[in-house]
Every structure is written in structure tokens, then in C-alpha cells.
Amino acid sequence: MMNIVLLTACPSGMVTTYLAAQALERAAKRRGWTAHAEAQGQMRPVAPLDAATIAAADLVVVAADAPVALERFVGRRLHPASLAEALGDADALLERAWREAKPLDAAGLAAAAVVAPAPVAAGQAPRIVAVTACPTGVAHTFMAAEALSTAARDLGYAIRVETRGSVGARDELTDAEIAAADVVVMACDIEVDSARFAGKRVWRTSTGVALKQAKQTLNDALAKAQVEGGAAAPSGTAAPAAGGKKKARGPYGHLLTGVSFMLPMVVAGGLMIALSFVFGIEAFKQPGTLAAALMEIGGGTAFKLMVPILAGYIAYSIADRPGIAPGMIGGYLAVTLNAGFLGGILAGFVAGYLALGIARYLKLPASMDALKPILIIPFVASLLTGLTMIYVIGQPVALVMKGLTDFLQGMGTGNAVLLGIVLGAMQCFDLGGPVNKVAYTFGVSMLTQPGGVGYPIMAAVMAAGMVPPLGMCVATLIARGKFTEQERDAGRAAGFLGLCFISEGAIPFMARDPLRVMPACIVGGAVTGALSMYFGCQLKAPHGGLFVLLIPGAVGHVGAYLLSIAVGALVIGVGYAVAKRRDAGAAADTTVAMAASH
């Protein structure tokens, strides 16, 4: 009697895996074979094949389009196939498997692209660990973590989430938790070291997707996650990512990584500069005074380091640690050559891709390979990056930056208002997403330009970034009957976040009702940006929301600035209050409240 083991798995884990298992079982029965099937899916608990059944098998057939565990079958005759082969002609597949199956050895296991942990046993909740990280490390990081935790609780999954915010790692995952996990979810918008997850199934997504589609993210992770390359590494040691290469992030992902490391320097430096104005706008010109010291810390040091750090960590995102030195050198050259923020971005990409190319394509004897990351890559990449900045990039980009500065300094009222409309709309388009970050990064970059040309731009950008959550708060106050009690609580929280310049406070409302919230926010942000530029408002600090008003001189034309914010918040609040439909939950809350009052 022929004993055969069947293993099927599809990416969704819903239907195809079961159909393929049934087709193969029927084909085996027609041949008079005894078949034992394991269908890895989400529709019912997986019944893993026991060791005795595997040991007695004469043939193992794996029909899978998703990662499955093969370690159990080492030493058995195994034939891999696709689900299409099983569903198309199961009899032909079994015939081919019997002829072509080969014993699975360690080499074959290492070569297979579908190695994964054993499936979750019946009755056992999936074990998930997750990491969340956004460029600013303030809102998206923690909101995504909360969304994943809530979704896992609703689905009955066990989860532990590590947040990598602006204050560093919180609730850090232990080696034991990682080892026990069935899947790792990395909801990260920036580069996060994944060496400790080598050998685990890893699902990569963004904080925005994890926040808005948390349940789908967890289910996709369980069904589609791919194994991270390399053997499991001890904590703190480096290991290659999948296939020995870093996970491709694309230019925007590399830029966000650089911005995330740069932002603390920008905020600290900007606030130091603003504090120096407490003693008078020109008090820093007096040597030996506290105002001069504050200006030296903020403008003389922090702002000079801003571009090198941006460039260094763009290069780090591309090439890992070997990219930091050439990236920072290129970024500092961008500052000295007056190529500014744009030059620093270009320097980061040049340095990163040079370092990555040298690491990949420069082949050395094994005895000298250890010299690459500590000697050859830093030296060669820094030399080539520096020469490129001095002789190719620096001068043209410096001319571009000078032209942009001259244009902004000579900009008339009409052009200023138009720029405010564009920047304000961008700030409110995706609430902390890519478009929002582009507008904010532009505002920050202009702060470093001479003549205070960036102060009105920064004012328009921050004012517009505050109004979406403030508008949601206004809407929940003037149209209480249209919102549930939970939404009204969220509105109060959003109001506080808006005062702090955390646009993401409006995300819960946009996630529930994007077709109404998004247009209202874009219009309100455009109005705010236009008014701020029209009134000539100025802002010398790159963050802090309304709390920068506590620093004398940090905001120019305070009354007009507050008016711009108030008008934008009212436009959003009233617009959304009118457009929003009253839902059943709000009606139920109102009925309960009326009953309680009687």
C-alpha cells in the first residue's frame, strides 16, 4: 500500500488550498493510495501532520503558492508543485511526482524559497509580533500600534507590538517572543534593522496601511509573509535581509528615513533660535550674551548638522552602516558649497548607491573581505561622493537654491497666496503621509535659507497642519447628534493634537469617512495657508504648534496667525458637520441619552 502525504497552501488561505487538497486526495484514492492531507488555510484550524505519518510516507507532494514548512520532510521523497498543477490535473501531478520526487536533504531545504515555521496547531491562536515606526516617531507610530493591537484582540490573535518612536524603542520585543512568533509584521515607513528577524516570516507594510486596514494587515501577514533570509542571529548582531539584500524601499522610503533622523535636530535647533529672540530680534549679535550662545547652538551648530544628518541617513537607508560616512561627508559639502537642502538630498543618494554598488560588486579574497565595510567602502565612496559634489553637483544646485531664494524674496502678494494654497492643501491631503511630508520638508528646508525667506513658508505649513484635527473637534461640537459618543471623544482628543501640530489626529475620521473628510480638510488647509501668507505671518520654529507662542518673537503677526488657523478650522468643521450623515450608532447614543434624561 502506497502512503502519500499532501501539503497545500495558498496566499489567502481561504479556498484554493482546500480545493487542491481535495483534488489530490481524490486522485490518490483512484490510484489506491492512502493519502494524508494538510491544508494550510484560515477557514478552519490546521491539523498538522504528525511525525509518525510523515515517517511512514513513501512520497510527499507539496502544492503551494505560499510559504510552507519543509523541515519536517528532510529525508523523505518530496515533489514540489504549484496549486495550478494540482487543480488542473491532479492525476498527472501524482504520476509526475512518483517519477521525479527526490529525497529532501539539507542542501535542498536551504535552496527552497518556501521554508517557514510549522503551521499553528488547531485551537492555538496565531502568535504575532510587530514593529511600528514612522518618520516623525510621534503619531503614526503609536496609532498604528494601537490599531494592530485592537484588531488582533478582535480576531482572537496574540500580539506584541514594539514602537520605535521619537523617544526610541518602547515595549521592545524579546528574543523569546520573536522565536515563538508565527509571523512578524513590520509596519515601518523608515529603515528599521531587521537582523533579529532572520529566519522568521516577515510581512512589511506602512504605518498608514496598518492604521487604516489593521485586520486585513494581520490576515495578509499570516497568509503571505515571506521568510527573512539568513539564519536566526543573536540579538545585536548583523544579518542579511532576504536573499542577502536589504528590502527594497524605493527613493521615497530612503528620503523618509533621512528626514526621520534629521527632524530632532531641526526641532531642537529651531527652538534654540526662537529662544534667542526672547532677548530681542538682534540680541544674538552681541558676543558673550545668552542670546548669542543660543543662536550658536541652534543656528551655528544644529542647523549646520541638519543637512549632513539628512544625507548620512539617506545613504544609511540605501547601503546600511557603510553609507553613513560618505553620506554625511557629502551632506556637509552641500552646506559649504551653498547647495543647501536639495544638495544634501542628492549627496545622500549618491553616497548610498555608491556604497551599495561597492559592497555588491567589488569582489575581494576572503582574507580581505573584512576590510570592505571599515576601510574600502568608506574611503572610496567618500572620495567619489566628495568629488561629485565639488565638481558636478554642488555649483549647479547652489545656483538653483539661490534662484529659489531670490524668487521667494521677491514674491508678490498674489504669488505668496498661491504658494500658501498649494502648501496648505498638501499638508492636509494625507495627514502625515507622503504629500504632507513633502510640504513640511520644503518648509523646513527654507528655514535654513538667508534673509528669513523661509519664515512665512514655515508659518503657512504649520498653520495648515494644525487645522484638520481642530476642524474635526469643531465638527463634533456643532453637530453632536451626527457623531457617536466614541467619535465625540475622538474629536476632543483630536483638538488637543491639533494644537500640538499633529495632523494625524484627524486620521480616525478620515479612515471612517474619507470622501467627506478629505475634501473638507484640503479646502480648510488651503484657506489657512493662503491667509497666513496674505497676512505675512512668520514662524521661526519648525514644530510645536500653538505652544511656540510661549516663546516671544517666535511668531510674527500673532493675531493674524491665530485668525488664519481659526478660519481654516471653522471651514473644515462646518463643512464636515454639514456633509456628514447621521449614522445608526449616533442615533442609538441619542436615544439612550434621552431615555436616561427621563
- In the residue annotation, 10 being an active-site residue is answered as yes
Contact 317, 249 (CB under 8 A): yes
In angstroms, how far is CA 426 from the centroid of its own chain? Answer: 19
User: Residue 153 CB: number of other CB atoms within 10 A?
Assistant: 11
Contact 513, 572 (CB under 8 A): no
Contact 188, 207 (CB under 8 A): yes
DSSP 280-330: -TTGGGSTTSHHHHHHHHIIIIIHHHHHHHHHHHHHHHHHSGGGHHHHHHH
Sheet order of strands, 226-227 included = 168-170, 158-165, 127-133, 183-188, 201-205, 226-227
Catalytic residue among 134, 188, 473, 537: 134
The set of residues, in sequence order, having a beta carbon less than 8 Å from that of 447 and lying 6+ positions away, is 266, 270, 303, 454, 455, 458, 540, 542
Sheet order of strands, 77-81 included = 34-40, 3-9, 59-64, 77-81, 102-103
- In the residue annotation, 428 being an active-site residue is answered as no
DSSP 196-241: GGTTSEEEEE-HHHHHHSHHHHHHHHHHH-EEPSS----TT-----
Distance CA 391, CA 383 (A): 12
* Residue reference for cell 526610541: 168
| Beta-bridge partners for 129 | 160, 184
| Beta-bridge partners for 8 | 39, 63
Contact 354, 298 (CB under 8 A): no
For residue 372, the 8-state DSSP code is I
Residues with catalytic annotation?
A: 10, 134
